[in-house]
Structure 1
Amino acid sequence: MTFRTFPKAELHLHIEGAAPPKLIAGLAREKSVDIAGVFDERGNYAYRDFLQFLKVYEAATQVLQTPEDYRRLTLAVLEESAAHGVVYSEAFLSPDFCGGGDLAAWREYLHAIREAADQAEREMGITLRGVVTCVRHFGPEQAKKTALCAAETADDWLCGFGMGGDENAGEQGDFAYSFDMAREAGLRLTTHAGEWRGPEEVRAAVRDLRVERVGHGVRVIEDLALVDELIEKDVVLEVCPGSNVMLGVYPKLAAHPIEKLRERGIKVTVSTDDPPFFHTDMTKEYEGLARVFEWNEDDFKALNQTALAAAFCDDATRDRIAKKLETA
């Protein structure tokens, strides 16, 4: 099987975290922005652990200063995704990095991102949809500004709301107001949980924020009663195996619980998270799962059907993407 050309759907991708290092380095030179410490001697992103990863991530975004920068970023990210067979992608977009949470500025950034997405769909055949995310360690008050940006621009393209950032900052329930605002605007909901904190973090996400998808969520395997609860509530996990291994959540792919979760009956999808940071892409993710867990073509087809069913897009888009996935 040629994994690179196998049609894929990806649900967990941070737009800034997917920025090719060469793009960020080039923008830094253009703007004379000092981002010393962001790269290693080979030009790759450099960090030691999760907290430093967050600092490097935010340092790299310093060069993304205008809507035009985000247009170029979106095209570069989608070009890379399309090269690895991705036909449908949902990207996390943060108004905090696109105008500091100001609604007027956010509209301009969003327009530029959507222009790039339209161009990529015409030229590369990849469909993008946006999921606005607040940043957990920026706090609940800033999250309200982010949620307002999301609510005011919600439509068939901007179809979801979620939360990323440091899982150890505050509690899921602290952000209930923002998630309620997004839900009332018709947005579908997801949040990062169960990557660094244990199963209780996922339980809190489902209980307090009423999300239908959980980013990562892998540590639910430590609480089989919670696994059964997620199955009953039809909660889908956005699993990022390469990210989990690179950040040390698990020592190697063979120790990752994705296969156990799937065998138990929980719905899992596979994504890259922040691919250049974790030296991964969707081809490598598929190759690893085939090598370590002996997943075959039928497994990957089922994986993509799960992802498409869990996607936040409208039904017309879903039907169109389904035809592309059927060519696998």
Structure 2
Amino acid sequence: MVLKAEIHCHIEGAASPALVEAQAAKYGADVSVIIRDGSYVWSDFTSFLHCYDVASMLFRNEDDYALLAETYLADLASQGAIYSEFFISTDHAIHAGLTPDAYVAGLAEGMRRAREKHGIESRMIATGLRHEGPEGVERASRWVAENPHPLVTGFGMAGDERTYHPKDFARAFDIARDAGLAITVHAGELVGAQSVRDALDWLKPARIGHGVRAIEDPALVARLADEGVVLEVCPGSNIALSVFPSYDEHPFPKLRDAGIRVTLSSDDPPFFHTSLAREYEIAEEHFGMDEAALLGVTRTAIEAAFVDEATRAALLARLS
């Protein structure tokens, strides 16, 4: 089994339908609108976000989030993963009636349990939700800057890429960067290459979440390669959301061949009927990558991980 690492996954989006149904039973909620026959039901990006939000609202206290993190990381470890970096959203916590402090504490407890039981290292990336607007993203950024936690090592922005312009969020990202947090941002998924270019110019991330639409602009592809910006690529998600019609038309091989540092992640795995192991299988089956190339993808993810250098060295040593 090839050792794996994941650096792009939303923790609420990692909740399996079975776990969400168990949470619904716990709280007396009805999830028949979003789950049918053991699978999430949605039709487009907007309905996906609604489905995601309904599921996430069923995690309401520290124990719930500890269970979510531990369950997800245990499953990831069973797939051969030695490292996980997942996105968290204090906005989701607040909407569910949980304080951000309790939210982070619960997740950290689940991470501790998973590391102790399964040997998987993990970190959190705090995010603002783009469709909440500049004030919402700045609120998320300011909270994480003022409430440091050793397992929260990065800041990013998720949500609907079709709203606002990256320049509107520059202040929020400056706050996070000044607090010592590493920066990533979703771009170039539902919106084209200019979205990636604007994110680079205004937010100055070390990594881009998705970024696959950069393939539409050769100059941008060259820039990403020259600047060493890492792309957090999620092929299964891209196909599920119809960013590309098929794996044969997915630009992962072209981006990699152009010298861009690419990684593989699962994004919101049960929502897109995928897993980290499946993403590696996709790369083997559709992108022609052998075991050495796949291990190289893992190495790139660890080299780009938002961890201290001692942890990075220990993880890289495990690949040897």
TM-score, structure 1 normalization: 0.95
Distance 2:29 2:166 in 1: 35
1:254 to 232, 244, 248: 248
Distance 1:44 1:108 in 2: 29
CA drift of 1:155 comes to 4.5
- 2:126·2:155 contact (CA, 8 Å) conserved in 1? yes
The 5 A counterparts of 1:204-219 are: 204-219=198-213
The 5 A counterparts of 1:125-164 are: 125-164=119-158
Distance 1:76 1:101 in 2: 20
- Matching residue of 1:86: 81
- 1:201 aligned partner, one-letter code: S
- Matching residue of 1:33: 29
Distance 1:124 1:139 in 2: 38
Distance 1:268 1:315 in 2: 21
- Matching residue of 1:9: 5
- Matching residue of 1:279: 273
- Matching residue of 1:182: 176
Query: Would you say 1:97 and 2:92 are equivalent positions?
Result: yes
Tell me the alpha carbon deviations over residues 144-168 of structure 1, each in whole angstroms, 9 at most, x when there is no partner. Answer: 2111221123354211000001010
Tell me the alpha carbon deviations over residues 49-86 of structure 1, each in whole angstroms, 9 at most, x when there is no partner. Answer: 11110110001111111111111111111111111111
Unmatched 5+ stretches in structure 1: none
- Matching residue of 2:160: 166
Distance 1:101 1:268 in 2: 34
- 1:14·1:92 contact (CA, 8 Å) conserved in 2? yes
- Matching residue of 1:309: 303
Query: Alignment identity in percent?
Result: 42
Tell me the alpha carbon deviations over residues 157-183 of structure 1, each in whole angstroms, 9 at most, x when there is no partner. Answer: 211000001010111111111101000
Tell me the alpha carbon deviations over residues 179-200 of structure 1, each in whole angstroms, 9 at most, x when there is no partner. Answer: 0100000000001000011100
- 1:215·1:238 contact (CA, 8 Å) conserved in 2? yes
Secondary structure of 1:63's aligned partner: coil
Q: In terms of mean alpha carbon deviation, does 123-132 or 153-162 score higher?
A: 153-162
- 2:61·2:106 contact (CA, 8 Å) conserved in 1? no
Q: In terms of mean alpha carbon deviation, does 278-287 or 265-274 score higher?
A: 278-287
CA drift of 1:34 comes to 2.6
1:44 to 32, 39, 42: 39
CA drift of 1:272 comes to 0.3
Distance 2:319 2:163 in 1: 38
Query: Would you say 1:232 and 2:221 are equivalent positions?
Result: no
- 2:9 aligned partner, one-letter code: L
- 1:154·1:187 contact (CA, 8 Å) conserved in 2? no
Distance 1:101 1:28 in 2: 13
CA drift of 1:129 comes to 0.2
- Matching residue of 1:24: 20
Runs of 4+ residues deviating >4 angstroms: none
Unmatched 5+ stretches in structure 2: none
Q: How many residues align?
A: 320
Distance 1:60 1:157 in 2: 24
- Matching residue of 2:118: 124
Secondary structure of 2:243's aligned partner: coil
Secondary structure of 2:128's aligned partner: strand
* Compared CA separation, residues 316 and 100, structure 1 to 2 (3 A): farther
Distance 2:146 2:310 in 1: 23
